[in-house]
Amino acid sequence: MSIRLATLRPSVRRALGCAVSLAALWTSVGASAQAPALNDRKDVLPPSVLTSDDPQRIPRRPPQAAPKKQVVLKGGRVFDAVSERAYAGTVVIEGRTIKAVLPADSSDFAVDAEIVDVTGKTVMPGLIDMHVHMTYPDPDTPIDEQDTEGSGVLRGSRNLRYFLESGFTSVRDLGGVLNAPHQLAQWSASGQIAAPRVFAAGHIITGTGGHATERPITPNHGPTYQWERDGADAWRAAVRLAFKQGASVIKIASHFTADEVNAAVDEAHTLGLPVTCDCETLYIERAVAAGVDMIEHPLPRTDAVIATMGRRKVASIPTLQVYQNVLDTSGGFYGSTSRRFTMTSQSNFDVFKKLKAQGVVMGVGTDTIGRVNTMIPNPYIAELKWFVKGGYTAPQALIAATRTNAQLLAMGDKLGTLQAGKLADVIVVDGKPDETLEDLAKIDQVYKDGRRWVAEGQVVLPRHVSAPLAKPSPPAETR
């Protein structure tokens, strides 16, 4: 028997509509139990195998044996992000990794080690920002340079330097121009530019007319920044192309169908990449049902889906401060077909509090775009203060900024804490940030991959060493 809803009384139509919605949600919730698990390559690659320092885990050749002089950070406080307590200690760096974290009175390090006196300062893991846009244009970018790869690389290199000297050793770039984010990731990984590690998504994947593609069309609302795809096969193909280009994470955005998001998550997880979603209302339900790993922003969602996020370990990157900036400067979010809802400071904060109450793991990100990159670290410190306002202690907020963020990058085995064997991404803060978050603005030193990139608050680069010619010139026999 078929029933035409339009012929029924409004009250009956509403009741049937609720029943259909609940049935659809129940079906999608049930489907999520079969959501594909992340195909983490650590499960098939033994720890002895060296891999790229990203979720793709590509095997690489062992480096040529070379002397590894130790650097010893001695005399300061250690906030290791393993626990919430800072203590007097010594951090020993050898090569690219942390050799040991020792008691303050220990001398268990090489006799020829470089001793760095950090008395009165705090040694802690490098900060991680889970939501940045390094290559997006700022108001000073000429319109004909806003969607060129070269201009994007130059903007990104400049912005990454700001982050590095502000104590960030890793950032997750969730959308940029053409291949620029991946190029920056490669150059940073090889130590050729002064930059944090870059875990790049590349293009945002959305349906036609979805988030960040709305009219009026601008250079950064087009195919050089976003991929508009329709249909499950097209979404699966987009994930494969992002992987091919070097993605460390897949970013999707509403709008999309259930089939499209299911295909994207299935393909990404099969390839070993986490998926994050910029979505709202019913699209969050679809993303969570599909098995997405994270939801960006404090955008509207039901209490039921928040509870499901907590139960299914779907994380959140709340980015409260970026929307507070919008409210402070514009009074609201207007003119966007992907933001068809009201937004207030209180409603955003209410989402944060509900997420925390349901045990949703939350990471720290700023969503820096354009000129906001020049404000770093202020937006990040403000975001941490939102965490404290929402019930975190200052040490817990720092753990979210380091250990939790590393875990959400699928890099918790290499980053996020000061422990022997972890990569030596270490910062020295001239203060006690675990007690006063504002002290994070006082970065004294930054080590990434064991190399000192920042000293006395400024980026330091060694002088270029000229490579020799193959033979003396001019040749000796020349007359």
Q: What is the pLDDT of residues 448-474, one digit of tens each?
A: 999 999 999 999 999 999 999 988 878
Q: Which of 460, 411, 431 is nearest to 161 (CA)?
A: 460
Give whole-number Cα distances, 15 to 8, 22, 26, 204, 220, in Å. Answer: 11, 11, 16, 37, 43
Q: Structural domains in the chain?
A: 1-34 (no CATH), 127-415 (3.20.20.140)
pLDDT of res. 7 = 37
pLDDT of res. 36 = 76
Which of the 8 DSSP states describes residue 402?
I
d(CA 389, CA 172): 25
pLDDT of res. 174 = 98
Mean pLDDT of 39-53: 85
Q: What is the pLDDT of residues 285-339, one digit of tens each?
A: 999 999 999 999 999 999 999 999 999 999 999 999 999 998 998 888 787 888 8
Q: What angle do CA 285, 291, 296 make, to 5 degrees?
A: 65
Contact predicate 249/276, CB 8 Å: yes
Residue 25's pLDDT band, with cuts at 50, 70 and 90, is: very low
Mean pLDDT of 65-85: 93
Q: What is the pLDDT of residues 416-433, one digit of tens each?
A: 999 999 999 999 999 999
Residue 188's pLDDT band, with cuts at 50, 70 and 90, is: very high
Sequence-ordered list of residues with C-beta below 8 angstroms from that of 452, at least 6 positions apart, any chain: 71, 445, 446, 460
Sequence-ordered list of residues with C-beta below 8 angstroms from that of 279, at least 6 positions apart, any chain: 211, 252, 253, 254, 256, 286, 287, 295, 296, 299
Percent of the chain with pLDDT over 70: 92
For the chain, the first-to-last Cα distance in angstroms comes to: 104
Residue 194 in this model has a pLDDT that exceeds 60: yes
d(CA 328, CA 326): 5
Which pair of structure tokens corresponds to residue 282?
């019913």
Which pair of structure tokens corresponds to residue 119?
């008395």
d(CA 309, CA 411): 21
User: Position 26: which residue type?
Assistant: W
Q: What is the pLDDT of residues 326-357, one digit of tens each?
A: 899 888 878 788 888 888 999 999 999 999 99
Q: 343-353 burial, b if ≥16 CB within 10 A, otherwise e?
A: beeeebbebbe
pTM (global) more than 0.85: yes
Residue 5 in this model has a pLDDT that exceeds 50: no
